[in-house]
Amino acid sequence: MTSEINRRDRLRQATMAEIRSTARRLLIAEGAQAVTVNAVAREMGVSGPALYRYYPRHEFLVQAVTADCYEELTRAITAARADHAADSESVRLLAMCRAMRAWATTHPAEFGWMFATPSSTLAPESLSHRPALDFEAAFRDEIAALWDTKPFATPDIASLDPALRRQLTAYSRDIEGQLPPAAAYVFLKCWIRLYGLLCMEVLRQVEFVFDDMEPVFEDLLTDICAAFGLDYTQEPR
């Protein structure tokens, strides 16, 4: 009986993986609006109701595909971190940032799906909530390790706007004090700039000025390194 249950579970997991991969192919080929339960079902040669046995609502399918993308991006970043485990903090952080950009620019449809469309995919009950937190933690863990060994310059927390202090204090508490509020502020400002620039590049919002975003990205990395008290090393082109 146990082996039969295990076999059914494996078959169910394989079908769910096929559903998600089919949805992702539609996303890449035709855009987010093409990813409907009925469209995925047609691609797989089954009925729409058959898919609802695996993902009862379209929203659940969206969350599951988003979770896959977060996990894949996180693997790319953590692999870069592991590949440079024996190198300096600056080399390692730069490798992680460049790995994020490499994934984003080679997966523009997925990146837009994850980051550029308001959705419920990051709600605590969402299937993609934990993968999204793991993605953010990949960079935060690296900065926290840096903070523990080579604390970087931070603003005077008392000089910040009270609303900002409140939010930073809450964030520091949420991450169990891994970064104190002032250090968290430096991390978050760098994170927002990194994420924001990649969004503008992937969504082609600055092509009226730049037809090559790599030097723009590298210039940002010099600022990020400076914020954390690290030396910038340019990657050979």
Q: How many domains does the chain have?
A: 1
- Quick check: is 193 in a domain? yes
Q: Does residue 141 sit within a domain?
A: yes
Residue 24: inside a domain, yes or no?
no
Q: Which pLDDT score, from 0 to 100, does residue 124 have?
A: 74
Closest CA relative to residue 23, chosen from 4, 5, 41: 41
138 domain-assigned? yes
pLDDT in the model for residue 118: 57
Distance of alpha carbon 118 from its chain centroid, rounded? Answer: 15
Residue 5 covered by a domain: no
24 in Cβ contact with 110 (< 8 Å): yes
Q: Tell whether 113 is covered by a domain.
A: yes
Res 34: pLDDT: 93
CATH number at residue 156: 1.10.357.10
**What domain range is 99 assigned to?**
86-227
Query: 185 in a domain, yes or no?
Result: yes
DSSP result, 7-64? HHHHHHHHHHHHHHHHHHHHHHHH-GGG--HHHHHHHHTS-HHHHHTT-SSHHHHHHH
What pTM was estimated for this model as a whole?
0.91
pLDDT given at position 67: 93
Give the pLDDT of residue 3. 65
pLDDT tens-digit series, residues 220-230: 999 999 999 99
Q: Which pair of structure tokens corresponds to residue 63?
A: 């969350």
Classify residue 211: in a domain, yes or no: yes
Which of 100, 68, 61 lies closest to 191 in space, CA to CA? 100
Q: Flag residues of the chain having pLDDT under 50.
A: none
For residue range 40-81, list pLDDT tens digits in order. Answer: 999 999 988 889 999 988 989 999 999 999 999 999 999 999
